[in-house]
Amino acid sequence: MSKGNPKMVKRFSKPIIFVHWLNAAAFFVLYISALPMYTEYFDWLYAVFGGPAGARLVHRIAAIFFVLPVVIILLADPKGFFFWIKQIMSWKKHDFAFFKEFPKEFFGGHANIPKQDFYNAGEKVNSILTILTAAMLICSGFVMWFPQFFPQAAVMWAYPIHNIGLGLSAAVVIGHIYLSVGHPGSKASLRGMTKGDVPEEYAKAHHGRWYDELKDAEKKDDKRIG
């Protein structure tokens, strides 16, 4: 932003921002406390948690904070939550066209991406994979936490499901973090998840269809007032 104070538009509500970061923090703690078990290269992390028993305890506490955001958002901002769910389930031509152009943008080239929704197709994929992997991790994690209530075969299946959920979600998270804080083209989006607003110019460039809707709504408001 080199043009002084750009015009901003509201993007995410306070509760959405809060649960996003709560979920992110919990995921990070879960990831770190599980890493020594996942790969032997991180065995030294056991010492950080005061031994395997300590790592298990931290993992279970973080697990609760990982599930909590869903409950909180359903109470605090159900509208925002269901808008998200509805959006990521909607797949149209402009969503599919996104992926043809995206690699160019990702590696720093110039891309002609068609106008996107409030959530662009990449964010939709990120959301769907996040929900899917979270469901895998939470369900299988619950079985692994309380194996005495489940048949042995179910517990034995919980391990690979937890394992696949971890691999997928970690891959998704790496891409997600990079695109929000690392990639120059979409850095402005991070502000939407911290302060809650984004520059209007950014909305126009990355979420054209949403921007058009905002403009239409403004016009209607103007008419009503005028």
Q: Would you tell me which residues interact with other proteins (CB under 8 A)?
A: 1-2, 37-40, 46, 51-53, 56, 106-110, 147, 152-153, 155-157, 159-160, 163-164, 166-168, 170-171, 174-175, 178, 182-185, 188, 199, 201-202, 205-206
Residue 179 exposure: Cα atoms within 13 Å on the Cβ side:
15
Which CB atom, from 128 or from 168, has the smaller least distance to other proteins?
A: 168
Tell me the C-alpha distance between 214 and 211, whole Å: 5
Amino acid sitting at position 194: T
Helix (H, G, I), strand (E, B) or coil at 150: coil
Smallest gap from residue 30 Cβ to other proteins (A)? 15
Smallest gap from residue 18 Cβ to other proteins (A)? 27
Which CB atom, from 74 or from 156, has the smaller least distance to other proteins?
A: 156
Tell me the C-alpha distance between 171 and 95, whole Å: 21
Which CB atom, from 78 or from 167, has the smaller least distance to other proteins?
A: 167
Smallest gap from residue 108 Cβ to other proteins (A)? 4
Residues 6+ apart with CB under 8 A from 164: 136
Which CB atom, from 84 or from 119, has the smaller least distance to other proteins?
A: 119
What phi and psi, each to the nearest 5 degrees, are found at residue 197?
A: -130, 160
Tell me the C-alpha distance between 55 and 105, whole Å: 40
Smallest gap from residue 52 Cβ to other proteins (A)? 4
Which CB atom, from 18 or from 42, has the smaller least distance to other proteins?
A: 42
Tell me the C-alpha distance between 147 and 132, whole Å: 22
Smallest gap from residue 162 Cβ to other proteins (A)? 9
Smallest gap from residue 87 Cβ to other proteins (A)? 21
Which CB atom, from 2 or from 5, has the smaller least distance to other proteins?
A: 2
DSSP H helices in the chain: 14-38, 45-48, 52-76, 78-89, 93-106, 121-145, 152-177, 189-194, 200-206, 208-225
